[in-house]
A and B are shown apart, each in its own frame.
Chain A
Amino acid sequence: MATTNGKPHEPLIEGNWTNATIDAQIGDIVLDPKRHTEAQLKRIPAFLAKSLPDQLKSPWFLMFGIGFIGVNILLVAITVLVLTGIGVWGNNQPVGWGLDIINFVWWIGIGHAGTLISAILLLLRQQWRNSINRFAEAMTIFAVMCAGMYPLLHTGRPWVAYWLFPYPNVLAMWPQFRSPLVWDVFAVSTYMTVSILFWYVGLIPDFATLRDRARSRFAQIAFGFLALGWNGSAKSWHRYTHASIMLAGLSTPLVLSVHSIVSFDFAMSIVPGWNVTIFPPYFVAGAVFAGFAMVIALAIPLRKWYRLDSFITMKHFDWMAKVMLATGLIVAYGYVMEVFYAWYSGVPLEQGLLHNRIKITEAPYSWSFWLLILFNVVIPAALWSPKIRRNLTALFWISMSISIGMWFERYVIIPVSLTRDYLPSSFGYYTPTIVDYGMFAGTIGFFLFMMFLFIRFLPTINIFEMKELLHHMQHEKDHGEGHGGDKTVPAEAH
């Protein structure tokens, strides 16, 4: 087995593992509830530490609890909204799109890293993806759920949201296909569907493993049902790998198109600061940037609590940090270009936009632009240092900074541009309300809630791909030591 002692190439799985121990380490997170109470919270008051049972002191319970509270906040916010109408939100003329659309774009962006990790890196044959793709994909699905809520509720009458879809109806109406909002409906629902398919296809062999490992009758039936009767025959695997590659090949352009279409929501209009040709690639890069930040922010604690250090190694963090650095630079390039061309245009309206963003003493929302630069450009610049890329504490906080920064980016683009439209008579201000913030906190809670349910009930790391990786590493090592190619060394012998 691969070892860690100063090899030029760091292994992607550290330590001694066999197929059986991989099953136990990853699969039992699902099958054995005790795994969730192994890690215990340390800094809790003494009286609580004594009186509470172990289950309630685990990080899993803490995060799940926070998520649960968030879900309740979300439910309250939605109830108030639906009973009263979207007037309870802060958006009004001239700022018709406020926190709801910011959060929509923010969540969609976070979701993209998941698809990217699973699809593009599969096509590029990057094996380091194997240990993070499963929960990154889960992250995608839950992030898209959070995102989808906002436009749905923003319609004002979410109970007739199905009108957005093309179907023959008694109103004799059809969607208006020249509107980017309709493209959004198609893009986001396609994205959601394809993400779920891709995720489920990836899970099928792992469900079969869990089915065969499960001890309780219920788990056997449940996983047996989900595995669809997967038997792992050579023919099945042949079609399976073919389907996975094709799904990856379809998901990659899909990710690009989804965020491009999100950017078209703005770019198709003529609001100064929105009708910008660099928007599609710049939005996509921003999405990847934010998404990788979220993957890192989730992976660091999970790795610690579930002792996954062997599978999610420093090499993984280094790679992800490099992707963040690269996409962060593209985003920074976007900021520079927007500012430069707003000035270069010579058009008073575009120059007004520039003034509105950067003049800290005169423009009411310029603070948001400078915060965006701080969180998205200045702080992430630390990633140039290889030491920082491998310092998990620093990496965690940089990821947090990026998540906040990307939120501000959308804040600057969406409401701040709308406060200064063409006519000075319709200039205005935007102030979000408690319901806006409640919705935002609520979706974060919902996201955590779903993530930790996922960790409890489904394998967090792709089991069969880890075994495949292990086999490849074994194979390479045999080659390296000059063994004949097909000499069979039983895996357990090591």
Chain B
Amino acid sequence: MTQVARVDRGFMTAGIGMAVVGAALFAIGLGGKDWIHSYFFGYMFWLVLTIGCLGLTLLHHTARGHWGFPVVRIFEAGGGPLAIALCGLGTIPIIMNLPALYPWADAALVAKDPILQTKSFYNNEGFWIARVALSFVILAVFAAVNQAWLKKEEQTGDDRWRQRRVNFSAIGLVFFVLIVNFLYTDLGMSQEKHWFSTIYGVWLLVMGALGALGLASAILGTQHNKSPYDKVVEPWLTKDLGNLMLAFTMLWAYFSFSQYLIIWSGNLPEFTKFFLKRSDGMWFWLANGLMITGFFIPFLLLLAPRTKRVPQIFGFVGGYILVIRAIDMFFVTVPTYRYQLSVYPADIGALLLVGGVWCAAFAFVLRTAPLVTYRTPELKEAADHA
């Protein structure tokens, strides 16, 4: 008798633990004015992961690859309506502290800066909040519709639901990318006074997708011998998911490097500032470290066939990638306000606190449906091929 994987229980326990420890650590830093920066870092990591999960759900429905079925539940729980609604609620502390995060919300700064003035009808509190809120509503609707239709399809076994889901996701993906791009621009990019980068939205999107794949791989790798994963974790699946992770790792490196190279080479004042902050002092070593730990190590690990065959190693690599994503997010968000590399307890606290809530919600959603969608015809086909 194989054990039953209780992923939801594990995540619930971990979530509560993380929330408690996180709240304690976060409380230490609450007094200073920096706490909102710490919060923003923690929030962004989980937001990007959530959106990565939703993106992979849509991609799975569009591309109809076999790799998706055993993990689509994880993506649905991680990028479902509940997670997105929570992310929407998570913007409340940000909205309450806009001037501490966004130069365009600081009236004194805007008064001195003609460039911020020309944008002020776009970047002002009312319009900004409206845009962010609208983005979250649309994303939540996408996620809800997808989930509902997949459930209907499972219950009725009707192929029309499948077709609907595919059509919806294909068109949805187009709007998803646009919406997410504007959302990331508002939340992240507009913290820099003048800096902008056209690839920023996709860059963060890829980070999120990579993190989501890492999370799913870690779950599959650790639960591979428990039901129902024992029936689906086969070498073909870990190979496909591993190759997908490899592709996203390369994509991340490609976007990061080409963005850096273009800005470094152009050396124009409004662009270079972003990387100037991030290559000052110890930040420089973090940047170089990320190149090695974020690209070379996972790249070589995922290139080896053994990683993609042995579930334990596979799960470990997935977890490793997820951890690196957090450090990468630290590098992307925090240097905007912090000139020296230093990690405050509140940073870790915020990461754990938001993560605790996220994990609890994740566990809550996972419990509502079986971990693997059995009734879809594609999975049977995939199992036959294996």
Contacts and interface: CB of A to CB of B under 8 A. Distances in A.
B254 interface: yes
B61 to A, nearest CB: 14
A275 B199 contact: no
Interface in B251-284: 254-255, 258-259, 261-263, 265-268, 270-271
Contacts of A256: 254
B122 A347 contact: no
Contacts of B265: 267-268
Given A281-B202, A333-B178, A276 B262 contact: yes
A260 B256 CA distance: 13
A277 B268 contact: no
A281 B196 contact: no
B279 to A, nearest CB: 17
A346 B194 contact: yes
B174 A275 contact: no
Given A253-B250, A277-B197, A281-B199, A344 B258 contact: no
A450 B201 CA distance: 42
Nearest to B259: A277
Given A277-B262, A277-B263, A281-B202, A336 B178 contact: yes
Given A277-B259, A344-B119, A345-B270, A337 B198 contact: yes
Contacts of A341: 196-198
Contact of A345 (B178, B196, B263, B266): B196
Given A337-B198, A338-B198, A269 B255 contact: no
Given A269-B266, A270-B266, A277 B258 contact: yes
Interface residues of B, number: 32
A386 to B, nearest CB: 10
Contact of B199 (A278, A336, A347): A278
Q: Is the interface of A mostly helix, strand, loop or mixed?
A: helix
B28 interface: no
Contacts of B122: 344
A399 B181 CA distance: 29
B115 interface: yes
Contact of A344 (B174, B196, B255): B196
A279 interface: yes
B116 interface: yes
A260 B258 contact: yes
A333 B177 contact: yes
Interface in A304-345: 329, 333-334, 336-338, 341, 344-345
Interface string A343-370: 0111100000000000000000000000
Interface of B: 115-116, 118-119, 122, 174, 177-178, 181, 185, 194, 196-202, 250, 254-255, 258-259, 261-263, 265-268, 270-271
Given A276-B262, A344-B185, A347-B270, 9 more contacts: A253-B250, A264-B262, A267-B265, A267-B266, A280-B254, A281-B254, A333-B178, A344-B122, A345-B196
Interface of A: 253, 256, 260, 264, 267-270, 275-281, 329, 333-334, 336-338, 341, 344-347
22 contacts: A253-B250, A264-B258, A264-B261, A267-B258, A267-B262, A267-B265, A275-B266, A275-B268, A276-B262, A277-B199, A278-B202, A279-B258, A281-B199, A281-B202, A337-B198, A337-B201, A338-B198, A345-B115, A345-B270, A346-B116, A346-B194, A347-B194
5 shortest A-B CB distances, which residue pairs?
A: A278-B198, A346-B115, A275-B266, A280-B258, A277-B199
